[in-house]
Chain A
C-alpha cells in the first residue's frame, strides 16, 4: 500500500460545504417532498394507555370530501407483519408491534386507524369523524409496579412484563464491600425525556406497479435498517425497496428506529397505487417518537477512608414502554447503562442486575447518551457522596480512583475494554482551564444568601464506533454493525464517495470530504459526498451511537486507499516510473523531485475508463472505483470531564449556570469547529435533561406534556457559553485515529449540573438523587430538607 499524502484538510476548521442551500431555504427536507397525485395520511390514536379496541366505525369519515380511505388494525394485519425486534439470549421476550393496533392499544398515542385524504386539512377533519369504541383495561405506568406478580400484563404471550433481564458480578464485589471503610447506598431516579429534533419523523412512499418496487423517503438515521424493517413488515424482498433519506432536521437517536406509521404509510402506497405522505406533528412527536432515560437504580458504593472508590453494586430498572424497538431492542438502555457504569474508574468489584420492563407508555429507544447518561449520573453522584463522607475534594477522589492511561487498553470491572483514555489528564486540563482553586475560593466568598454557588464535576467514558462484535455480544442480531463506502473517480476526474452513513446535521458532507480529499491527495472542492440512499450507497448501518466518523470514516479511508493504489499503479505506467517514486498532491501525481514529470488524476481517470486511448498496465482492470465494507473493532472510547458552576436560587428553585468547561478527548478531530458545535449542542441537551425536560404522565398513563409549552427545551436564556479544552489520545491500531464524540456532551452535562446543584445545596441538607432538577423539584427538596432539619 502506498503512503498516504500529508493530511491537509483533516484537523482544519473548514466551513461546511452543505450550508449554502440550508441557509437559503433550498434544502429539501421530508416535508418538502411532493409527488404527483400524492395523498396525505393521518392517524387516529389511542386516547387510552391500555384498551381493547371493540369496533371502529369509519363510515362518516369515508363520506367526507377528499377522503380516499380509512384503514384499521384489523384490516392492515392481513397484509403486514408486526415489527419484531429480535435478540439472542434466553431472557429476552420479543414484542409484536402492529402497523395499527389490534386487538388492543398499549399506550396513549398508539396508532389505531389511518385516514387518507387529499390534503392535511381534510385528513384532520376526517380523523375526528372516525368513531372508535374502546374497552379500557387497567394500565401499568410504573416500571417497579409492572414487575409485581399481579401487575396487568401488556403482552399476554409472556408470563410477566420483564422484557429483558441480566445479572453480572466480576467475582470481587462482595469482598470489596466487606473490606471497605465506607459504604453508601441510595436510590436514584431519572424522568422520561425525548430527543425532540426540530423536525419530526415523516415518510413519503410511492409504489411502482410496473416493476413492483417501493420507493420510500424517510426522515431516518439508518436507511438500510429502515429498508430491512419495512421489508420484513411488508413481506417484500429488500431489493424491492429503496429508502432515501433527504435533508434531515435532527435525529439524536429515535430516527434510527422503524415505527408502525412507517409500515402503514408504505402499505397504503402499495394498496392505493398512489404516493402517500405522513408528517409527524409536534404533538405526535411528544406522544410517540421513542423516548428515553426513565430509570430507577438502587446503587451502592464501597470506598477506602481516603475516598478511593473500590466497588459498585447496582440494580437498574428501566421503563422501556410498551414495545421493544427495532432493531436495537428494549435491551439497549438498561444494558448500556449497566455496562458503562464503571466509567473511567479502576474498580475491584462491580455487580449489577438490569431490567427492562414494559409499561403502558411510549416505547423508549436510542437517544443521545443512551443508558450512559443515567449510569454516569448514578456513578458520579455516588463518587461525590463518597467525597463528602470522607471530607475529600471531589477532584481528589476522582484523581485517585481513575485507571491510568498507561494501563490502557483497560478492561473495566464490567468486562468492557476501554481501548485508550487519559482520565486524569482530562480532569487536570479542565481544573486548570477553569481555575478550580479560584472557583472554590469564590464559592466560599459567595456565602449563604438566597443564591447558593455550587461546583460540579463529572468524568465519563463514551462508547463509540461500535462494530459487529459489540452487537453480537449484546445479542442485537438485527444490527449490522459495519459500514461501507464506495469511492469513485469519474471519467472526468471528479471524486464522489457513497456512504452508508446518514447525516442529520453532523456535517458529513464536509468531514468525509476532508478525509477523502486527504487520502486521495485532491482538492476538497473536487470531492462530493453522497449518503442516504439504499440504491446508490453500499449496505451498512447508518448514523447513530457516535459511529459515523469511526466506522463510515474507516470504510471511506480503506476504499480510498484502494483507489489511490490503483491510481498510482496506472500513473506509474503512464510516467514510466515506479509507483513508490510517485507523490500525489492537489490532484497531480508527480515523480518525486521532478514536478514536471506528472499526470493529473483526470488523466489517469481518462485512461482508466477509456483504455483504448492508451494502455493500462498489465493485469489492471479498467475503471477507477472501490468499495470497502468495514467492520471495526468492538468499540473505541472517547472520554471527558465536565465542570459546571451554578447558582441556585433557594427561594424559586431556579438554577443558573455561571460557567461551563468541557475537556473532550475524541482522538484526532477531523474538524474542530464541528466537534465544538456537536459539544455545544450535546451539552445543551444534557442541561435540558438535567433541569427542564420531563415527559409527565398522570396515574392512568395519560401524557401531560404534549406541546413545547409543557415539554421545555432550553432556550438562549438558560444555556451558558461552553468553554472547550481539547486533547487527543489516539486509539491504538485504528485505521483513522478518530473516535466518536456526539454523545459525550450530553452524558457529562446532566451529571456535572446535578453535582453542582448538590454541592450548592449540601449545606441545606438537600440530597440530589433524581433528574430533572426542575424548579418545582428543587423547591420540594429544599422544603423537605428544611422540614427534616427542623425536626432533627
Chain B
C-alpha cells in the first residue's frame, strides 16, 4: 500500500507522520493522533458528525484523505475550549441543552464555529440552513438552533 509522509498542525500542535494514501482524515485524527472527539456517523458525507476545520473551512473529515492535508492547519473539537474554559459556542450548547447523547455535537460545534465567523448576526432561518447538513437524532435541532443564536450573541458581545 502506498505511503506518504505528511506534516499537519492540529489544534496548534504539529505532527509528522507517514500514512497510507487511502487513510481517511477522520481515521488519521482518531486512530493515529488519538483525537477521538471527531465522530463518524455515516462515513459517506451526509451526517456531518465528522466535521472539522481545515485552513479555516468546515470540511467532512470522512470524505478527505489524510494525505490531502499535508501542510494544513486543522482545528478539531478538542481545540475549541481554552483549557477547561469552554468556547462560547460550547457554553451556549450547555446552557440551552443543545445536546443529548453528544455524538453529533462536535460536528455541529465545528460547523457553527466557521459559520458564525462568516455571519456573526444570523437569523433563525440562516442558522437552520447553515446546519442543515448536520444530522442529530436526539434533539430535533430546536435547542441547537437556540444555542446557536445565543452563541452568536455572546461572540458578538465578546468581540465588541
Contact = CB atoms under 8 A, between A and B. Distances in A.
- A and B, one complex? yes
Interface of A: 15-16, 18-20, 22-29, 31-32, 34, 119-121, 195-199, 247-250, 252, 281-282, 504-507, 673-674, 676-678, 680-685, 707-709, 713, 715-717, 719, 721-722
Contacts of B106: 25
Contacts of B47: 198, 282, 708
Contacts of A195: 137
Most buried by B among A18, A28, A684: A684
8 contacts: A19-B102, A31-B36, A197-B103, A673-B97, A678-B100, A684-B140, A715-B134, A722-B142
A708 B46 contact: yes
Main secondary structure of the interface of A (DSSP, over half): loop
Contacts, number: 170
A719 B141 contact: yes
A642 to B, nearest CB: 13
A26 B135 contact: no
A722 B140 contact: yes
Given A25-B37, A198-B39, A504-B101, A681 B137 contact: yes
B46 A717 contact: no
A294 B93 CA distance: 36
Contacts of A673: 97
Given A16-B97, A24-B37, A708-B42, A121 B20 contact: yes
A41 to B, nearest CB: 16
Given A28-B36, A31-B40, A198-B101, A20 B94 contact: yes
Contact of B137 (A674, A709, A713): A713
A129 to B, nearest CB: 15
Nearest to B78: A25
B8 interface: no
B35 interface: yes
Interface stretch (B66-74, B114-122, B124-132): B124-132
B135 A24 contact: no
A15 B46 contact: no
A25 B140 contact: no
A734 to B, nearest CB: 26
B23 A121 contact: yes
A764 B154 CA distance: 50
Nearest 7 CB-CB pairs, A to B?
A25-B37, A505-B101, A249-B103, A22-B102, A684-B140, A680-B140, A505-B100
B18 to A, nearest CB: 15
A405 B137 CA distance: 34
A32 B104 contact: no
Contacts of B9: none
Contact of A199 (B22, B43, B101, B128): B101
B76 interface: yes
B103 A29 contact: yes
Given A25-B76, A708-B46, 11 more contacts: A16-B94, A20-B86, A23-B81, A23-B90, A24-B77, A29-B103, A680-B139, A715-B141, A717-B128, A717-B129, A719-B141
B38 interface: yes
Given A15-B94, A15-B95, A715 B132 contact: yes
B155 interface: no
A23 B39 contact: no
A20 B85 CA distance: 10
A25 B137 contact: no
Contact of A23 (B36, B93, B103, B135): B93
B58 interface: no
Contacts of B94: 15-16, 19-20, 23
Contact of A713 (B36, B99, B135): B135
B22 A121 contact: yes
Task: State which size class the interface on B falls in.
Answer: 35 or more
Contact of A708 (B20, B22, B129, B135): B135
A97 to B, nearest CB: 26
B101 A716 contact: no
A282 B127 CA distance: 27
Contacts of A281: 43
A198 B37 contact: no
B136 interface: yes
Contacts of B51: none
A195 B95 CA distance: 27
A684 B131 CA distance: 16
A9 B127 CA distance: 33
A677 B102 contact: no
Main secondary structure of the interface of B (DSSP, over half): loop
B6 interface: no
B140 A719 contact: yes
Given A196-B137, A199-B103, A247-B102, A716 B86 contact: no
Contacts of A197: 101, 103, 137
Given A198-B137, A249-B39, A505-B138, A22 B97 contact: no
Contacts of B41: 198-199, 249, 282
B141 to A, nearest CB: 5
Contacts of B133: 715
B88 to A, nearest CB: 12
B141 A716 contact: yes
Given A22-B105, A198-B104, A505-B101, A282 B43 contact: yes
A247 B76 CA distance: 20
B103 A198 contact: yes
Contacts of A674: 97
B80 interface: yes
B49 interface: yes
Contact of B39 (A19, A199, A248, A709): A199
A253 to B, nearest CB: 12
B103 A250 contact: yes
A680 B43 contact: no
Nearest to B127: A716
A24 B78 contact: yes
Most buried by A among B101, B136, B141, B143: B101
B76 A282 contact: no
B46 to A, nearest CB: 4
A423 B109 CA distance: 40
B141 A19 contact: no
Nearest to A745: B140
Given A248-B101, A504-B101, A716 B128 contact: yes
Contacts of B103: 29, 197-199, 249-250, 505
A32 B27 CA distance: 11
B13 interface: no
Contact of B93 (A18, A19, A31): A19
Contacts of A507: 100
A574 B93 CA distance: 46
B44 A681 contact: no
Given A25-B78, A250-B103, A677 B137 contact: no
Nearest to B86: A23
B9 to A, nearest CB: 17
B6 to A, nearest CB: 17
Contact of A19 (B76, B99, B139): B99
Contacts of A23: 77, 81, 86, 90, 93-94, 99, 102, 105, 109
B86 A282 contact: no
B145 interface: yes
A616 B146 CA distance: 53
Nearest to A195: B137
Contacts of B38: 25
Given A25-B78, A719-B142, A722-B142, A681 B129 contact: no
Given A24-B86, A121-B23, A198-B47, A677 B132 contact: no
Contacts of A682: 140
A642 B106 CA distance: 32
Contacts of B44: 282, 707-709
Contact of A22 (B42, B43, B99): B99
Contacts of A504: 101
A198 B99 contact: no
Given A24-B37, A281-B43, A681-B100, A250 B81 contact: no
A506 B104 CA distance: 15
